Homo-oligomer: A and B are copies of this chain.
Amino acid sequence: MLKVQFCEIIMVQLAEARRQKFALRICDELKAQIEAGTLTPGGLLPSTRALAAELGVSRTTVTEAYEQLLAEGFIETRPGAAARVSSSLGPSASPRARHPCEPSRVRLSAYGRRVRDFPPPPLVTGRLLADFRYGDMSAGDFPALAWRRVLNSVIARRPQRLRYGDAAGAPELRAALQAYLWRARHLRCDLEQIIVVNGSQQGLDLCARVLLDAGDRFVIEDPCYAIARQIFLSVGAVPVSIAADDEGLQTARLDKIADARACYVTPSHQFPLGGVLSAGRRQQLLAWARRTGACIIEDDYDSEYRFDIGPIRPLQTMSEGASVIYLGTVSKTLSPALRLGYLVVPSAMIDVFTAAKRLADRHTPTLDQQALAELIASGAYERHVRRARRRNAQRRAALLEAISVRLGDAATIVGSDAGLHVVVWLNDISPDREADVIACAQAGGIGIYPITPLYGSSSARDRRNCAGLVMGYAALDERDIRRGVERLAAILREFAS
């Protein structure tokens, strides 16, 4: 009897000791995580119940560990709320996985190997006095109130159930875009031809996947949007670069190319040189596409912005007998961060693009699509576009004037009729000093970006024997534009001498 009692006491003591040991281990583990930064100051801890279940110990054990951490000031608790890491703790080293699962042999696909080796986009470096990065937009231009209003209205309008949407896009957005494209671009299409995508980028990726096999040839403007070239290269296709000049793609050179499967063009505003594809060249391009069966991918990325010229009709509107895929986006009118764009595809390709989009990510987020539909249908979108056009006309005028005043004959501006950027040729500086100019300007607080990486061939680049910049202005106000160009001029003077 005595012995049994003794045993029980021993067992209880053992259990208690084990519990304490576990509690201590949990305590150490949590401290290590806090120190490593996996748990950050103010961050939530798991509930005692969840952690107990997770670790297979009693809740008392976890509670004990938490009390210890509380006593040591690592965590803080409030009645009824989950425990948190003490917000008074300083920031720690960046969080690290404890068991970095470094696999010995990761064999990538051909696609994987290609994309891994593409040069990443140029780095954004700290705060700059003026950053002329192309593609950025001013946050002040974004219609935040209107966007909040339409978003709130679509969230409030609850559907019966939440489910995957139509892969090709929300019907209300496709209808709004159909009407908008007619109003703004005189482009007429069936609703079914419109495929909503996550920005032009996804539109191009779908085109590349659906149209091109490894080894297929595609025609691309030279110079061009670097990431577009990367997308086509990523599927293993082979570029046929054709130089662009002031009138866009030099279509006469297409005659010799019979076996290309696709042709990527920016006819409204050649990127980056800014030429508008002339009427004669449009006819040549379409005739070539009809003759060879190549599919034209028309990227209409910034057609909302044109300044001293009339509107330019998309190729798509004159494409009878040719396959033209039209590509639009709101990245230049609302925000690049929204990721909303659309394709208008030939009727024969509706099914394959819908299937490809479904496999890529089911569909574009529904709330965002519905919000854009409401913005367009209410007329607020086009009012906003008109406002944005006026604002950017002011910025453009400030930039052109500043360059003319500060740089004079040292600079030649091209492509300023349309879009949100210009190309500035630095007449007195040789191309091989371009990278130095960029680096010095960045060191001096001016973000400028080189044109050379946008060229696919040195023969096209050699047509201009001087350094060149692609300067975007949509994110800057006029004062910063003027100050930026002034500072840039001072930096360039040292190079010209």
* Cβ-defined contact, B44 with A183, below 8 A: yes
Tell me whether A61 is interfacial, beta carbon within 8 Å: no
Closest B residue by C-beta to A320: B99
* Cβ-defined contact, B165 with A97, below 8 A: no
Bound complex: CA of A182 vs CA of B99, how far in Å? Answer: 13
Tell me whether A211 is interfacial, beta carbon within 8 Å: yes
CB distance from A390 to the nearest CB of B (A): 14
* Cβ-defined contact, A138 with B162, below 8 A: yes
Closest B residue by C-beta to A261: B107
| A379 contact from B44, B137, B355, Cβ within 8 A | B44
| A346 contact from B103, B111, B139, Cβ within 8 A | B103
Indicate whether A202 sits within 8 Å of B361 (C-beta atoms), given known contacts A108-B211, A191-B95, A321-B103: yes
Tell me whether A126 is interfacial, beta carbon within 8 Å: no
* Cβ-defined contact, B38 with A178, below 8 A: yes
Indicate whether A337 sits within 8 Å of B101 (C-beta atoms), given known contacts A178-B38, A359-B227: no
Instruction: Tell me the A70-128 residues at the B interface (CB within 8 Å).
Output: 81-82, 94-112, 115-116, 118, 120-121, 124
* Cβ-defined contact, B293 with A164, below 8 A: no
* Cβ-defined contact, B139 with A360, below 8 A: no
Tell me whether A199 is interfacial, beta carbon within 8 Å: yes
* Cβ-defined contact, A112 with B183, below 8 A: no
Residues in B whose Cβ lies below 8 Å from that of A191: 94-95
| A323 contact from B101, B193, B352, Cβ within 8 A | B101
Instruction: Tell me the A373-432 residues at the B interface (CB within 8 Å).
Output: 377, 379, 382
| A361 contact from B81, B94, B198, B367, Cβ within 8 A | B198
Tell me whether A319 is interfacial, beta carbon within 8 Å: yes
Residues in B whose Cβ lies below 8 Å from that of A348: 102-103, 106
| A339 contact from B98, B103, B351, B365, Cβ within 8 A | B365
* Cβ-defined contact, A44 with B101, below 8 A: no
* Cβ-defined contact, A295 with B106, below 8 A: yes
Residues in B whose Cβ lies below 8 Å from that of A40: 175, 179
| A311 contact from B53, B216, B335, B361, Cβ within 8 A | B53
CB distance from A49 to the nearest CB of B (A): 10
Bound complex: CA of A230 vs CA of B358, how far in Å? Answer: 11
Bound complex: CA of A56 vs CA of B205, how far in Å? Answer: 36
Indicate whether A199 sits within 8 Å of B362 (C-beta atoms), given known contacts A165-B337, A188-B38: yes
Bound complex: CA of A161 vs CA of B164, how far in Å? Answer: 32
Indicate whether A163 sits within 8 Å of B190 (C-beta atoms), given known contacts A53-B311, A202-B361: no
Instruction: Tell me the A184-228 residues at the B interface (CB within 8 Å).
Output: 184, 186, 188-191, 193, 197-199, 201-202, 205, 209-213, 216, 227
Residue among A124, A144, A161, A340 with the most chain B CB within 10 A? A161
Tell me whether A444 is interfacial, beta carbon within 8 Å: no
Contact with B along A298-325 (1 / 0, CB 8 A): 0000000000001101001001111110
| A211 contact from B109, B124, B161, B358, Cβ within 8 A | B109
Closest B residue by C-beta to A110: B213
* Cβ-defined contact, A359 with B106, below 8 A: no
Bound complex: CA of A360 vs CA of B324, how far in Å? Answer: 21
* Cβ-defined contact, B158 with A139, below 8 A: yes
| A365 contact from B131, B189, B337, Cβ within 8 A | B337
Tell me whether A231 is interfacial, beta carbon within 8 Å: yes
Indicate whether A367 sits within 8 Å of B379 (C-beta atoms), given known contacts A190-B96, A311-B53: no
Tell me whether A465 is interfacial, beta carbon within 8 Å: no
Mind listing 24 A-B residue pairs with CB under 8 Å?
A33-B188, A44-B377, A44-B382, A46-B182, A50-B183, A50-B311, A98-B188, A99-B320, A102-B347, A109-B211, A110-B213, A112-B209, A112-B211, A120-B358, A137-B161, A137-B163, A139-B162, A144-B156, A198-B362, A227-B359, A230-B359, A337-B365, A339-B364, A361-B361
Given A38-B188, A43-B377, A104-B293; 8 other pairs, CB 8 A cutoff? A94-B190, A95-B191, A102-B346, A109-B213, A136-B163, A139-B159, A231-B359, A337-B365
